[in-house]
Every structure is written in structure tokens, then in C-alpha cells.
Structure 1
Amino acid sequence: MTAASTQFAALLGPAVGGLLIAGPGLAVCYAVDAVGFLVFSAALLFVRPLPPAAPDTAPDAAPNKGVRQAFTSVADGLCYTRGHRLVVGLLLIDAAAMVFTMPQALYPVLADEQFGGGPGLVGLLYAAPALGALVGAATSGWTARAGGHALIGAVLLWGVSLTGFGLTSLLPLALVLLALAGLGDLISETLRSALLQHGTPDGLRGRVSSLWMVQATVSPALGNAVVGFLAELTSASAAVVTGEVVCVVATLAVAAAFPALRRATLAAPGE
């Protein structure tokens, strides 16, 4: 449900934003955005607060105990990650899917140079992956019995689809390819998260998941920066194609180097 609602917002927001910019103008678009923030911020006032956790009353509760515990927890998570081939493989395939392969920063340039459109078309480019991801979220029940092979296939679908997007100048085909990329991204994200939690002990799950969240936050931003730099050196379409070829090659390399990733499964024993 969370994935579906997130992708629905990602689908509707850019499309409406593009229409507002192309129609009433940028100022109206920002005004609608500001009103939306105000409405949903006010809605938070009606959310009941969670009760605070019981304070630590142990005799050794020194002022800096929390800091020491935080560093110890991070160190424990890093040590477990370093020695667990499945977790390392999941983190590396996530990096392969994100670094060099985030074309969102180039959508305005591509809309103008490759497809000859304006703000409305930019909104469609941003919305198309969300449409594919929404379809993926609505049909993702099968992932409960999937595993590493499905994850590798989903990342390859992301990379191959975006390679085709960078090569084509046909807008309908480009939108279909972006939707397929969004589908692959949603499935791969779902499986990465599920396999990570499935393969991590309860006592370390929060710490290991936090490391994955850091990477999941940093990698897309880094990917957009790298693709933008490549576009400065070559062109927007060449940067997209180059990045996605790197994604496909890196994904295949990670899959070959980590058998534990290929063998991983969410299916119950005997299924």
C-alpha cells in the first residue's frame, strides 16, 4: 500500500505540475504546491502522538552513553555487512542500479532536444516511470516467493529499458520504456528490501537496514550528478546510454561474483 500510494503521487504530481507550468505558469504551480504543503502539514496536527519510551534509569546511564551505543551499533552493522556475502551483494547491485543510471536530471534537456517538447512533456517524462512502478506495486504479490534471480532480472530491465530510452526519439516508445524502467525499479527495490530483512538477524536488522537506506538515499543523487557531468562532456542522450550500459555490465558482474545473491529466495522451504 505504501509503495502504491507513493508511486501514485509520483505519477500525478509531475503530470499536473507540467500542465500548470505550460498553462497558468510557474507561479501558479508553486502556489498550488505551497497550498498542498500547508494542507497536509495541518493534517499532521490530528495525528495522535506516540507515547515516549521509558527513560533509562540504570545506574551507569552516563550523559554520553547514548553516543557510545550509537557508534557501537553502527560498527556492529558494518561488521555484519562486511562478512555477509548476500548483504554485500544486495548493496552492490543497488549501487549498480543507481550510480551512472539516473536520467531524471536530464529530462528537461531531453524533452527539448530529443523530443521537441516543453514543460508538459517534461511532466510526462517524470510521470511515466511512476506509472510503471504503480503497475508493479499493484501486481507485486508474486515477489513474496521470488528471490535473487528475479532481483537481477528487475535491475537488468531497468538498465536495458533506459538504454532504449536514451536511443529513441519516438515519444510514445520513450514513455513505454520509461514505464518499464519504473516497473523494474519498483520490483528490484521491493526484492532488495525484502531479501535484506530476510537475510539479517532480528538484532541487527535495524542497523543493517539503516546502512542500506543511506546508500539508497545517496546513490540516486550521485547518479544524477554523474549523468549530468557525462552530459556536459558528450550529450544528454549519450550520457543516458553510457550510464545504462555501465548499469547492465555492473549488474551482470555482481550477479556472477556473488552466488549467494543468485541463490537467495523469499520462498518458504519446500515451495
Structure 2
Amino acid sequence: MQDRALGDGAAPAPRHPYQIRDYRLFWICRFSGVIATLSMVVVLGWQVYDIARSDYGMSRSVAAFQLGILGLVQFVPLFLLTPVAGLAADRFDRRRVAALSMGIDMLVAAGLGLATWFEILSLPLLFALAALHGVARIFLGPALNSLAPNIVPAAMIPRAIAMNSIAWQFASVLGPAAGGLLYAIFPTLPYIVSVGLLALGASLVLMIKPLRKPDVDRTVHPWRQVRDGLRFVWNDRFLLGAISLDLFAVLLGGVTALLPVFARDILRVGPEGLGWMRAAPAVGAGVVALWLSVKPMERNVGVKMLWAVGAYGLATAIFGFSRSLAFSLVLLVGLGAADMISVFVRSSLVQLNTPDAMRGRVSSISGLAISASNELGELQSGVAAALLGATGAVIFGGAGAVLVTLIWAMAFPELKNARTFAPAYRE
């Protein structure tokens, strides 16, 4: 059930998430925040690789390894603070936690903008600000992800997740593209825009009406609650399989970290081309998310998730062979479409198989797995690129993602046996 009444008894029940005021605020907050973050991140990756090549005189392979270091410095705070972030989302006002996290990211964007303006960028400074960005992300994820199920009725959660994905994916198209284009116009401009968008997102999330706090036993010691969240995921083979599948598949198959290498030295398309390549997966994902918001998936959802992860790995491997920008963009669009199907199914099943009192902690664990797959995937890509070259690293990673999918399909039959999105916990 919804956590609070949407109106008086005469008001018609909402039939779509957009009919709920607070969900609209949530959606715009998410949309603006993702544009800001990804615009900032794509420029940050370009600056790390470009400075490593030009200012430090590093070779292509050594500079590519710096992109791996960039992922590592973001992952370390994520790893250390994930238990605290999940507990914060379950014990405190999720709106305020989200707003504070966006405020921290505003400071990161402002710092990067000032350093770019005064031309004092260095690898240590970029890595330090990237680590602070990781701190903001780990608190923002569980708080925002746990808000939506409190705003919409349980039966509407799959559709709300599709709409959330539309916000994420279309912002993922605009953010990287805007970051690359704005940087080409004036290097400080993408950071200025990010500050404004993050301020907007923080204001909107605070405009959401106060929510009923999760029914968490506050007499239990906080660290025991953290342990209970970890034990809950570990003992639920379905949740463990779904979360770990994403972790290992994207850890191996992530191509995003090496896109600056392809943009600068392989395809030679510059920061503008990097922006389009970073945006391309979100184009495919956004189209799929839009379709799922109109016609949500209902049957054989587990099998479809497994096929989607396999397709993601295959598209990644083929991308490594491409030397055409147009063909590379097509592959990245297909990769994003496959990933969206996997994200939609996994997110819906995880939310509906988790009681509300556990959602913050389970979301933080899921967020850690996603961040580990992204940031440690960047480290893996950087190391593999240093050993195999960028092309070899991408092909190896894509093939590994396909292999992981086959292993998980056999090791976790609960995944392929998931037929529908029927909730395991009713509120």
C-alpha cells in the first residue's frame, strides 16, 4: 500500500505514476541530477586521459591505466561507506539524505570548474575530487532508490521503475553529449551547468511531502542492522544471484572507461565524439525504457534478463573490433538497450522482493555491486588495456560477460525461474 493518502476519499485513484505530484518532483530531480553528474563525469574522464597524455607525457597504455585509477579512487569510498549509506536511508529522512548528497556533488562540480578555469588541474587533484564524488553517490543512491516505492502503490512499482529508467537513460543521453559539447565551447561551462542542475535537484527532492519513516527497530544497534541487511541478501538466493550477476557481468564487460582512448587515439573523434559515444548506450536504453513504461514486461522476466546480459556482453566484444564511429555508435546503442532490459527486470524484482524496512540497506548493497562493477570495471579495463591494449581489453571483457551469464544461469536457477513481478512482501 502507499505510505500516505493521495487525497480525500472522493479523489480518483492514480493510474499512472505521473499522476502523483511527489513522483513528478522525484522524476525531475532524478533527471536533472543524472544530467549534471554524467556531464561532469564524461569531462572528468577526458581530462584525466588528456592530461596524462599531454602534461605528463604518458604512453597510450599508461594513460589508459590512469582511467582505471580514476575508477578505483571512486570505488574505495563506496566500499567503505556502503553499510553506513544504506543504514542512513533506513533510519533518516530519505529526502534530506538525498539533498545533502547532491549538495556534496555540487561542491565537487564547483571545485572541478574552478580548477579548470584557473588551469591548475593535475592528476592528484582530479583523483581527489573523483573520490568525493564517490562519497556523494553512495549516499544518494540508496536514498533516492528507496523513495519511489514509498511514493507510488506497490502495483505501480514496475511502471515507476520504467519511468525512473527513462529519467536516467534520457539524462544519460543529454548529460554526456552536453558535457562534450559544452567542454568544446568553453572548458568550465559543463561544471557551471552541473552546479545549477544539482541545486535544482536538491530543491525538488525537499519539496516532496514528508514520508512515513521505515519501520526499523531503533533499539537494535546500528551495526547489527547493517549486518542484518547483509545477511538478508546473502540468505536470499534470488537477490544474491540477481545482484551478483550484474556485478560480474558489468565488471568484465564495461567499455565505458576506455571510451576516451577510442575517442582520442583509435577513432580520433575528440571530446565531441566521446560525448556521443558516452550517450549512445543511453539512447538504446532510453528507447527500451520508454517502451517498458507503456507496455511493462510481465512474463518470463528472469529468462529475458539472462538473455539481455548475454547480448550486452556480445555487443561489447564486437565493439572492440570496430574502427568506424557510425558502427561503434550502433553497437553502443544495442549494448544500452540490452542493459536496460536487465536493469528493469533486476530492479523490479529486487524492490518487490525486499520489505520496506530493508530497502535502504538492500539498495545500498545493490548500489555497491553496481558501483563495484562500474568503478572496479574501470580499474579492470585500465589494467587489461595496459596489458592487451584497448581493443584486446574490450573484446576480452565482452567475452567474459557472456561466460558469466552462462555460469549464473546454471548456478542460480531461481533467476530463470522468475516468471512474473509478483511482490513477495506486501505493505
Which category describes the TM-score, using the shorter chain as reference length?
0.7 to 0.9
1:174 aligns with 2:328: yes
Alignment-derived partner of residue 232 in structure 1: 386
8 A Cα contact 1:19 1:120, kept in partner:
yes
**Change in 2 beyond 3 A, CA 1:266/1:110:** same
The correspondence for 2:291, drawn from 131, 139, 147, is 139
Alignment-derived partner of residue 107 in structure 2: none
SS of match in other structure, 1:116:
coil
| Post-superposition offset of 1:205 | 4.1
SS of match in other structure, 2:419:
coil
| Post-superposition offset of 1:202 | 5.0
**Change in 2 beyond 3 A, CA 1:235/1:250:** same
Ranges in structure 1 where 5+ consecutive residues have no aligned partner: 55-60
Alignment-derived partner of residue 58 in structure 1: none
Task: Say what the alpha-carbon RMSD is for the aligned residues.
Answer: 2.6
The correspondence for 1:6, drawn from 168, 191, 215, is 168
8 A Cα contact 2:252 2:401, kept in partner:
yes
- Write out per-residue CA displacement over residues 199-252 of structure 1, whole angstroms, 9 at most, x where no aligned residue: 334554443333212212222111011101110111101101111111110111
More contact order relative to length (CA 8 Å, sep ≥ 6): 1
- Write the mapping of 1:138-157 to structure 2, written as runs, cut at 5 A: 138-140=290-292, 141-157=295-311
The correspondence for 1:37, drawn from 195, 199, 212, is 195
- Write out per-residue CA displacement over residues 93-116 of structure 1, whole angstroms, 9 at most, x where no aligned residue: 111222122221211111233323
1:48 aligns with 2:207: yes
Alignment-derived partner of residue 177 in structure 2: 15
Alpha-carbon distance between aligned partners in 1 of 2:255 and 2:166, rounded to the nearest angstrom: 22
Alignment-derived partner of residue 374 in structure 2: 220
Ranges in structure 2 where 5+ consecutive residues have no aligned partner: 1-162
- Write the mapping of 1:1-271 to structure 2, written as runs, cut at 5 A: 1-22=163-184, 24=185, 28-38=186-196, 40-41=198-199, 44-45=202-203, 47-48=206-207, 51=210, 68-140=220-292, 141-267=295-421
Amino acid paired to 1:249: L
Amino acid paired to 1:231: A
Q: Please give the TM-score of this superposition, normalised by the length of structure 2.
A: 0.55
Alpha-carbon distance between aligned partners in 2 of 1:115 and 1:48, rounded to the nearest angstrom: 45
8 A Cα contact 1:146 1:267, kept in partner:
no
- Write out per-residue CA displacement over residues 5-34 of structure 1, whole angstroms, 9 at most, x where no aligned residue: 221121112223323334x3xxx2422431
Alpha-carbon distance between aligned partners in 1 of 2:193 and 2:235, rounded to the nearest angstrom: 49
Alpha-carbon distance between aligned partners in 2 of 1:91 and 1:40, rounded to the nearest angstrom: 28
**Change in 2 beyond 3 A, CA 1:111/1:70:** same
**Change in 2 beyond 3 A, CA 1:29/1:265:** farther
**Change in 2 beyond 3 A, CA 1:48/1:138:** closer
**Change in 2 beyond 3 A, CA 1:135/1:51:** closer
Amino acid paired to 1:159: G
